[in-house]
Structure 1
Amino acid sequence: MSTAVIDGSVPAPTSETTAPEINWTFLLLGFAGMVIGQFMAILDIQIVAASLPQIQAGIGASADEISWIQTAYLIPEVVMIPLSGYLSRLWGTQKVFLVSCTGFLVMSVATGLSTSIDMMILFRALQGFVGGAMIPTVFAVAFTAFPPDRRVTASVVMGLIVTLAPTVGPTLGGHLTEWLSWRWLFFINVVPGLLVLFLVGRYANFDKGDLSLAKGFDWFGLGLMAVFLMSMQFVLEEGSKNDWFADTAILVLAVVAAVTGPAFIWRSLTYYNPIVELRAFANRNFTVGVIMTFIVGAALFGGTFLLPLFLGRVLDYSPSEVGTTMVVSGLAMFLTAPFAGRLVRKLDLRLLMFVGFIMCAWGMWDARALTSEWGYWEFAGVQAMRGAGVMLAMIAAQQVTMSTLPDHMVKNASGLVNLSRNVGGAFGLAFLNTSLTTNTAVHMGELTDRISQSSVQMQAMLAGMSQRFAGSIDPDGAALKAVWGMLQRQATTLAFGDAFAMLAIACAVAAVVTLFARPVKVIPGAPPLEAH
C-alpha cells in the first residue's frame, strides 16, 4: 500500500486504507500564520475602543461620527464571514486568506493615514470586509487539516484567540495611543501582517479550490444576504443611540432586514448552488452549538463592553488604567485554555459547557453588586470567573458544534458559527446599551423621588456644599449641581449592575440549553461522527 505525503497540503482521502502522512512543519507553520491573521482581524474590532476621544480630536470628528469607526468595520465584516466559506471552496483556503490579509494590510495603512472622518469610515469598512475572511477560514482548517486526535489542541488555540483578542484590544490600544499615537492602532498590523503573508504563502497549501462552483454563482442570494446582514447589523449597532424605531432610518432598515432575511433563507434552501449551505442546521448538535456560540458572543463582547465603559464613565479611569484592570480577564482565559483542552478530551462536552456558562453567570452575578468604591481586586475576581467560564464554554461549544459534521460541510459551517458569535455580540451590545440608558433614567427617578429638599438631612447637605462652593458666582446653584451629579453617578452605577445581572441570567439560561445537545465525547484517534 502506498502512503500519501502532504507537501504543504492535506490531500483528499485516497482509496488506500493507509492514513496519509502529515508534514507537521508545513501544517503547524501554515496554521500559525493563519491564527496570527485571525487574531489581527478580531483584535481590530476593539483596539480603537479606548482611544476614540484621541481619534476624534485627530481627525476633527463629531461625537456622533466617531462611533462609526467601530460600526463601519463590523457591518461589512458580517457579510464576508459567511461568504468566505463559499470562496474557500471556490479558490482554496490559501488564496482566499492571502487576498484577505493583503487587503487588510493595505486598508490598515490607509486608515492610519486618514485625515478626515469620511476617509477613515471608508477605509475601515473596506478593512472589515476584506479582513473578515481571515476569521472563519482558520476554523475550517482546524477541523479538516488536523487529524482527529489533534483537533482539540487546534480548537483550544482558536478559542484562546477568539476570546483574548477582543479582551486585550482596549488594553493594547490604550497603551499604543499613549506611547505613540492613535495612528499606530492601524500601523501596528503591518509587521505581523507581512509575517502572515510569508507563512501562509509558503506553508498553508491545505486544499485546492473547485472552480466549477463559479458556474451559476448566486448573485441574487449574495445580494439578499448582504442587504439582510448589513441592515440587521446597522439596526443593532445604531438602534440604541437613535431611540430605536422612533428613528425613520432604523425603522426602514428593520423592515428591510425582516423581509430580506426570510427571502435569503428561502433562496439558500432552494437554489442549487447557494452562497451559504444551511443543511448543517439539520444536525441537532450544530444547531445547539450555534445557539451556544451566539450567547458566548453576547457574554464575551458584552462583558468586554460593560466593564471598560463603567471604569471610564463612573470611575474616570484613563485608557491605560482601563487596560491594566482589564488584563485580568485575558490572563484568566490564557491560564484556563490548557486545562480546558485536557477536560474536553475526558469529560462529556455538555457538562463542560454547563460548567463554563455557570461560572460566567456567577462572575456576572457578582458584578451586579458593583459600586463606585470598587477597586482593582474586586474587578479582578469578577473578571477571573467570567474569563475562565467563557473559555471553557467557548472551547466545548466549538467541539459540540463542529465535531459531528462531515468534512464537506465544515467550511460553510465555520462561517455560520463565526457569524453567530458576531451577531450574538451585536445583539448583546444593543440590548445592554438600551438597558443602560433606560435603567439609568429609572434609577434616577427613584433616587430623586426618595429625596425631599425640605428634609433636614438634605438641607444640611446643601448647606455644606454651598459653603464648599462659597467662592463661586452661585454657591447654591453649584451645590445643587454637585448633588445632582452624585445622584446621576449612583443611578448609572445601579444601571450597570442591572446590565451585569442580565448577562448573568442569559448565561444561566444557556447552561440549561446545553443539556439539549447529543452526548459527544472527544476520543483521541476517532473520526468525527457523521451528521444525523
Structure 2
Amino acid sequence: MAAIEIAKGGERPLPNPAALPTSRKYLIFGVLAFGQFMALLDIQIVAASLNDVQAGLSAGPDEISWVQTAYLMAELVMIPFSAFLAQAMSTRWLFALSAGLFTLSSVACGMAWNIESMIIFRAIQGFVGGAMVPSVFAVGFTLFEGKQRAMIPAILGIVSVLAPTLGPTVGGIITDTIDWRWIFFINVVPGAAVTVLTILVVDVDRGDRAMFGRIDWSHLAAMALALACLQYVLEEGPRKDWFGDPQIVMAAWFSVVAFALFIERSFFSQNPIVRLSPFRNPTFAFACVFNLVIGFGIYASTYLLPVFLGRVRGFNSLEIGTTVFVVGGGQLISTIIAARLANTVDRRILIAIGLSGFAFSLWLTAHIGSNWGFGELFVPQAVRGLFIMLCIVPSVNMALSGFAGQELRYASGLFNLMRNLGGAIGIATVNTWLQDNARIAALRFGEGLSVNGRNAQDATAELARRFAAVTPDPDRAMAMAQATLGRLVGREALTLAFDDVFLVMAVVFLAALVMVPFAKSPLPGDTVPPVDAH
C-alpha cells in the first residue's frame, strides 16, 4: 500500500515513481532532459557569436569573454546546491521554477543594453539553469530499472556532450541569418513549454519546506565564494599573468579560505548544503576524476576550434558553426554503440578505449595548418565524437549506480560539478598555453628571419614592389609590406601554438589511463535496489 504523507489539507499518498506507466516515465524524463539540454546548450551558444555580441554592446576584448564566464561561474555554484533545493522544494517545483526563470533571464539577455547588463543577466541565467543539470540524472535513475536504466547514462551523456558541442553551430546560424540577440530569444517558447509540462506531469517526490528554516548560510556562502573566486582566477589568470597580478592573488586566497570553510561545514554542520559522503565510495571518486578530465577535453576542444577558425582562418559565425558540427554526428553514432557495450563489457575497458580514442583525435588535430577548414578538420572531429561517448556512458554508470534516495541527488550534483569544473580549468589552461606558445613561436620566427636576413629582406622588397602598384608612395608600400609579413608571421606562430596545445591535451588524456586499473567497476548490467524517492 502506498505510503501516506500527512500534510495540510489532509492525507496525500507519496509518489511512487517506479510504479508509473512506462509512457509516463518517458514523458517525465523527456521533459527534464530537454530542460537540461537548453541549460547546457547556452553555455557555448555564444562561442561563435562573441564578435557580433561585442560589436552590438560596444564591449572591449577583455570584457566580452565574461559573457561565457559569468554563466559558467553561476552554474558552478548552483549545480551542487540543487540537491538541497530539490529536497526542500521537490523536483517538480525546483525544475519548473528554474525553467521559468531561465526563460525570463534569456529574454533579459536578448534585451541587454550594455556589456554590464549582459554579464548580470548571463549570471542569473547560468545560476537558475544550473539546477536543471543534475536533477535529470537523479530522476532518471529513480524512474528506471534494469535494461531501461542502462540507457539513462547514454541518453544523458549525449545530452551533456551534444548540447555544448552544438552551441556554437546553433548560435552561428542564428547570428548569421537573423541577429545575435535571437540566440537568447529562441529559449522563450521551449523554456515556457518545459515550465508548464514540468508542473503538469512531473510528480516524483515531495518537498520538505522546513529545510529552508535550517539552512546553513555560512556553508552556502563558503561554497559560492570558493567556486566563484576559483572561476575568476581561471578566467582572468591567462590575461593578467596569473599570480603576478594582486587581484588574482587575492581571489585565489579567498577561494582557498572559503574552500576550507566549505569542507569544515560539510563535515560538521547539522544541515550541510552539500554532502561529500558519496566520495567515500572509491568507484564514485574515480568516476569524478574521469569526469573532470572529460570536461577538460570537451570544453577546451569546443572552445579552441572556434577560436582557431575565427582568428586564423577569419571564418564568420555561420562558417564556424557548420565546421564544428561534425563532432555532434559522431557523438550520436557512438551513443548507440556505448549503450550496447555498457551492458556487456567491463566499464574500465570502455573508458580506456574512449580515453585513447579521444587522445588520438587530439593528436590528429595537433597537425593543424593555417589553411585547415571543414575538409581537413572532418576526420579529427568525427573521431573525437565517436570516442567521447565511450568515456561518458561508463563513467556515469560507475558514478551513480551505487547510490539511492537522497544520496543519489548529492552524488549527481557532485559528479556534474566535476565536469563543469574540468571545463573551466580546461579553458583557462589552454588559453595560457596558447598565449605562451604563440609568443615562443613568434620569437623563433624572429630568430629565423634574423639568421636568414637576406631572404626576409628580399621577401619584404617583393611585397613592397607589388604594393607599389596600388600606392605611389614607396614608404607607404614598404610599410604595407612589413605589416603583411608581420601578420603572416603572427598567423603561422598562432597556428603552431594550436598544434602544441592539442598535443599537450592528447598527452593529458593518455596520462588519465593510469587511473583505469585502479577503478573498481561493478559488473556490466549490475543494478542497485529500487530507489527510494521519498
- Normalized against structure 1, the TM-score is what? 0.94
Q: Residue by residue, what CA displacement relative to the aligned partner does 1:236-259 show, whole Å, maximum 9, x if unpaired? A: 112112221222221100111111
Counterpart pick for 1:308 among 306, 309, 315 = 306
Q: Does 1:11 align with 2:16?
A: yes
TM-align CA RMSD:
2.1
Which among 108, 129, 139 is matched to residue 141 of structure 1? 139
1:405 paired with 2:403, answer yes
Contact 1:9 1:204 in 2 (8 A): no
Q: In the alignment, what sits opposite 2:7?
A: none
**Cα 1:42–1:8 shift into 2, 3 Å:** farther
Separation in 2, partners of 1:235, 1:281: 26
Once the 2 structures are TM-superposed, how far is the Cα of residue 204 of structure 1 from its aligned partner? 1.2
Which runs of 5 or more residues in structure 1 are unaligned? Answer: 13-19
Structure 2 residue runs without a partner (length 5+): 4-11
Residue type of the alignment partner of 1:201: I
| Percent identity (aligned) | 39
- Which of 232, 235, 238 aligns to 1:237? It is 235
CA spacing shift, 1:457–1:52, aligned 2, 3 Å: same
CA contact (8 A) 1:355 1:511 kept: no
Q: Which residue of 2 aligns with 1:17?
A: none
Aligned to 2:9: none
Match of 2:195 in 1: 197
For the structure 1 residues 450 and 9, does the alpha-carbon distance in structure 2 shift closer, same or farther, using more than 3 Å as the test?
farther
| Deviations, residues 456-490 of structure 1 (Å, cap 9, x unaligned) | 43333222112111133322222222222211111
Q: Is 2:71 the partner of 1:85?
A: no
Contact 2:89 2:206 in 1 (8 A): yes
How many Å separate the matches in 1 of 2:501 and 2:452? 34
SS at match of 1:61: coil
Query: Where does 1:48-197 land on structure 2 (aligned, <5 Å)?
Result: 48-197=46-195
Alignment partner, residue 16 of structure 1 = none
Equivalent position of 2:492 in the other structure: 490
Aligned-pair CA distance for 1:57: 2.1
Which sits farther off after the overlay, 301-310 or 468-477?
Answer: 468-477
* Aligned position for 1:515: 517
State the match for 1:435 in structure 2: 433
Pick from 294, 297, 303: which aligns with 2:295? Answer: 297
Q: Aligned runs of 1:27-38 on 2, under 5 Å?
A: 27-38=25-36
Could you tell me which amino acid in structure 2 is paired with residue 185 of structure 1? I
Distance (Å, rounded) in 2 between the aligned partners of 1:183 and 1:454: 50
Residue 298 of structure 1 contacts residue 429 of structure 1 at CA under 8 Å; is this kept in 2?
yes
Q: 1:187 & 1:365 partners in 2: Cα distance?
A: 38
Q: How has the CA–CA distance of structure 1 residues 490 and 528 changed in structure 2, closer, same or farther, with 3 Å as cutoff?
A: farther
Are the aligned partners of 2:142 and 2:531 in contact in 1 as well (CA < 8 Å)?
A: no
Alpha-carbon separation, structure 1, partners of 2:426 and 2:495? 19
Q: CA deviation at 1:50?
A: 1.1
In structure 2, what is the Cα distance between the partners aligned to 1:380 and 1:430? 26
For the 8 Å contact 1:405–1:528, the answer to whether it is kept is no
Bigger shift: 480-489 or 334-343?
A: 480-489
Q: How many residues align?
A: 521
CA spacing shift, 1:463–1:445, aligned 2, 3 Å: same
- How far apart are residue 377 of structure 1 and its match? 2.6
For residues 271-309 of structure 1, what are the alpha-carbon distances to aligned partners after superposition, in whole Å with 9 as ceiling and x for unaligned? 121100001101001000000000000000011011111
1:278-289 → structure 2 map (5 Å cutoff): 278-289=276-287
TM-score, L = length of structure 2: 0.93
Query: Counterparts of 1:72 and 1:218 in 2: how far apart (Å)?
Result: 25
Relative to structure 1, the CA distance from residue 500 to residue 215 in structure 2 (aligned partners, 3 Å threshold; closer, same or farther) is: same
Give 1:251-330 correspondences, 5 Å limit. 251-330=249-328
Range that drifts further, 515-524 or 490-499 = 515-524
Distance apart, 1:316 and its partner CA: 1.0
Whether contact under 8 Å (2:2, 2:14) holds in the other structure is: no
Listed one character per residue, the Cα deviations across residues 341-379 of structure 1 (whole Å, up to 9, x for unaligned) are 001111000000110010000000111111113232321
- State the secondary structure of the residue aligned to 1:241: coil
1:83 counterpart letter in structure 2: F
**Which residue of 2 is the match for residue 383 of structure 1?**
381
Cα deviations by residue, 1:428-457 (Å, 9 ceiling, x for unpaired): 111100001001011111121122376443
Q: CA deviation at 1:210?
A: 2.7
